[in-house]
């Protein structure tokens, strides 16, 4: 009988298990904050002050978009590299070192965020997930982010060390597909994080420490989005890996094409980074030509997603027909829909297809203006990281947790219900968010109601949209409860000898059918760097030329306002305006008398 992962790699299994549990803790806290802000914003149930909403929103974004996703990712990639290379990590102390650094970074960043709930503590970081200037957080927040990112860099070094050692022993072998996916993703991450690292180390951290007085807000914003869009693919690429190497096997078949999978990950490496300016279509300090280039680059990213849809669906169909499925669509009924791992990943992929359509709206320059900074963007974001990534990771947990603990899954029926409820909850919530965005209902605010402003829905009402959002958020929270019930139940189960083997899908078309150039990581990295230089050199030079390296004299937010000074200024402006009006009236009257 084949062994589980913990049998083959007991030491590495402990590391992977630790990354999973760290990921799940972030998911639990971030998910709790998610339901709080959902009920608060829809005015269904409010028990926090609206000023604390932004602290909740920051914690929700940072814990889920960074901590949950990346902790799970480093665990998955450690499994992928060790399993596909059939060798343990080179130095286990180094592996525990980068994990510990990521934990310390998370704690450091979390302290000022949670301190924002306590007025007596002079520390806060309610700067949202998009933490660019003029929002200013406590220095500990930025230091924590640096440590967390450096930890992820070292994790990549760990995987490269394993590959280099394997390559010395197998010089003529092609890079195994899971390792290839992990390495290309890591190279993309190294390139993408140069932007956010520069923003924090050169500007935001010195600014928060008082070492420099001002920063250029547009520059820090651009450096953030240099990282802010490719980080989406940093979350998605491990989900893609699961779809490529796990879904075909669970379906009962083989991966349709190893070469196509390699092409997809090469395209993500090359195309992911020079796209961030499409988040800045409404920024007046960036020329329209630079925005057009970003739009063009973004549209090219549709290609790897379409190739993935084709390859994964073809692989699932092959598996279904091996199980007896027939007809043009009849094979769908032969798929293992009672398996929570398969169903969760398949539903996540279906949701990602919907996210692709709304993403094309975000990527187009002129049509983006209609939905920019509205609830539409939140709906899109919850389809991508909130479903394509999160639901894939939760479904994959039902296969991986027994592998790294040696314990059978607590309850498969509960797991199946959990993934289906998540899909339903996100269907309600994301649909309503997209529709609300079409009404120009804003995002990032605890109070979307404005005096004298009404939002008229073409179908239904704003009340109906809020009800859908609240219902969807409640279902998502219920799904999380079921997920953690299963995780905890599995953790307290006894050891099992009846676990699935630690294997991934074989291929119909293997690596021998792929051109050797696909494995030339130096070439693809060089091309990616050239494209980034082409896309960002002139915009950054233009921003610095206009606003300076450290920008104009701006005040950080949140900022206190001296009410007496404000009142005096208002009176001064009013008096000046009144005198000017009186002078005009006197002059016109005198002219009339003379005539």
For helices 462-491 and 390-405, angle between their N-to-C axes, nearest 10 degrees? 10
Reading the block at residue 403, the tokens are 């592998």
CA-to-CA dists, residue 524 to 57, 322, 375, 444, 461, angstroms: 37, 37, 36, 37, 50
Rounded Cα distance, 486 and 421, in Å: 14
Of 221, 278, 279, 382, the catalytic one is 382
Q: Do 375 and 302 meet the contact criterion of CB atoms below 8 Å apart?
A: no
Tokens 């998605």, residue located: 236
Which residues are paired to 374 by β-bridges? 442
In sequence order, what DSSP letters do the residues of 251-300 get, joined into one string?
HTS-BS-HHHHHHHHHHHHHHSSTTGGGGGTT-TTS-HHHHHHHHHHHHH
Cα angle value 193/184/227 (rounded, 5°): 20
Give residue 494's region: left, alpha or beta (phi > 0; psi -120 to 50): beta
Of 352, 381, 428, 504, the catalytic one is 381
| Residue 381 appears among annotated catalytic residues | yes
Q: Do 410 and 493 meet the contact criterion of CB atoms below 8 Å apart?
A: yes
| Residue 444 appears among annotated catalytic residues | yes
Which residue in 411, 400, 309, 408 sits closest to 356, CA to CA? Answer: 309
CA-to-CA dists, residue 276 to 48, 192, 232, 272, 386, angstroms: 34, 10, 11, 9, 20
| Residue 233 appears among annotated catalytic residues | yes
Of 17, 41, 138, 229, the catalytic one is 229
Of 412, 444, 455, 550, the catalytic one is 444
Rounded Cα distance, 72 and 155, in Å: 12
Reading the block at residue 296, the tokens are 């063009």
Rounded Cα distance, 249 and 231, in Å: 28
Rounded Cα distance, 317 and 309, in Å: 12
| Residue 229 appears among annotated catalytic residues | yes
Of 221, 380, 434, 435, the catalytic one is 380
Burial of 500 (0-12, 13-18, 19+ CB in 10 A): middle
Of 443, 477, 504, 536, the catalytic one is 443
Q: What dihedral do alpha carbons 243, 248, 254, 255 form, nearest 10°?
A: -20
Rounded Cα distance, 406 and 396, in Å: 15
Q: What dihedral do alpha carbons 312, 273, 367, 304 form, nearest 10°?
A: -20
Q: Do 297 and 229 meet the contact criterion of CB atoms below 8 Å apart?
A: no
Q: In a 3-state reduction of DSSP, which class is residue 507?
A: strand
Residues acting as catalytic residues: 229, 233, 380-382, 443-444
């Amino acid at each position: 009988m084949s062994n589980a992962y913990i049998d083959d790699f007991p030491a590495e299994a402990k590391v992977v298990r630790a990354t999973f549990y760290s990921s799940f803790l972030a998911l639990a806290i971030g998910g709790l904050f998610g339901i709080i802000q959902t009920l608060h914003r829809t005015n269904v149930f409010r028990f926090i002050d609206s000023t604390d909403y932004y602290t909740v929103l920051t914690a929700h974004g940072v814990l889920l978009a960074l901590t949950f996703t990346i902790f799970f990712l480093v665990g998955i990639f450690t499994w992928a590299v060790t399993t596909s290379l059939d060798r343990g990590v080179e130095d286990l102390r180094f592996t525990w070192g980068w994990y510990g650094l990521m934990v310390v970074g998370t704690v450091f960043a979390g302290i000022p965020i949670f301190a924002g709930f306590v007025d007596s503590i002079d520390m806060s970081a309610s700067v949202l997930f998009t933490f660019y200037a003029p929002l200013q957080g406590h220095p500990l927040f930025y230091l924590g982010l640096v440590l967390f990112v450096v930890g992820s860099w070292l994790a990549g070094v760990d995987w490269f060390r394993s590959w280099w050692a394997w390559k010395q022993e197998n010089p003529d072998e092609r890079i195994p597909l899971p390792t290839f996916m992990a390495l290309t993703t890591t190279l993309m991450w190294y390139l993408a994080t140069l932007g956010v690292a520069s923003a924090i180390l050169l500007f935001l951290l010195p600014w928060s420490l008082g070492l420099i007085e001002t920063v250029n807000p547009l520059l820090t914003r651009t450096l953030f989005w240099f990282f802010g869009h490719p980080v989406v693919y940093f979350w998605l690429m491990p989900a893609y890996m699961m779809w490529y190497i796990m879904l075909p096997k669970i379906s009962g078949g083989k991966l349709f094409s190893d070469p196509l999978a390699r092409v997809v990950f090469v395209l993500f490496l090359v195309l992911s980074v020079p796209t961030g300016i499409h988040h800045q279509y409404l920024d007046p300090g960036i020329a329209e030509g630079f925005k057009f280039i970003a739009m063009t680059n973004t549209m090219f990213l549709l290609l790897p997603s379409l190739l993935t849809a084709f390859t994964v669906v073809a692989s699932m169909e092959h598996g279904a027909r091996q199980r007896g499925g027939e007809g043009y669509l009849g094979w769908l009924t032969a798929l293992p829909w009672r398996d929570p791992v398969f169903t969760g990943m398949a539903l996540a992929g279906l949701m990602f297809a919907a996210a692709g359509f709304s993403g094309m709206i975000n990527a187009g320059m002129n049509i983006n203006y209609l939905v920019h900074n509205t609830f539409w963007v939140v709906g899109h974001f919850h389809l991508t990281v909130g479903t394509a990534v999160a639901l894939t990771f939760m479904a994959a947990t039902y296969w991986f947790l027994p592998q790294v603990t040696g314990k059978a899954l607590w309850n498969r029926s509960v797991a199946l219900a959990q993934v289906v409820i998540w899909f339903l909850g996100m269907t309600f919530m994301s649909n309503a968010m997209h529709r609300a965005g079409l009404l120009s209902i804003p995002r990032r605010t605890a109070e979307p109601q404005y005096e004298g402003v009404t939002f008229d829905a073409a179908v239904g009402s704003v009340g109906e949209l809020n009800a859908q959002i609240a219902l969807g958020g409640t279902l998502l929270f219920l799904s999380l409860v079921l997920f953690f019930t299963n995780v905890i139940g599995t953790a307290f189960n006894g050891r099992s000898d009846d676990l699935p083997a630690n294997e991934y899908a074989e291929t119909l078309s293997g690596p021998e059918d792929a051109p050797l150039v696909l494995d030339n990581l130096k070439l693809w990295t060089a091309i990616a760097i050239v494209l980034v230089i082409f896309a960002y050199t002139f915009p950054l030079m233009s921003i610095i030329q206009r606003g300076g390296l450290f920008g104009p004299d701006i005040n950080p937010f949140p900022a206190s306002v001296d009410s007496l000074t404000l009142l005096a200024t208002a009176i001064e402006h009013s008096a000046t305006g009144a005198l000017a009006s009186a002078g005009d009236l006197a002059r016109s009257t005198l002219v009339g008398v003379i005539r």
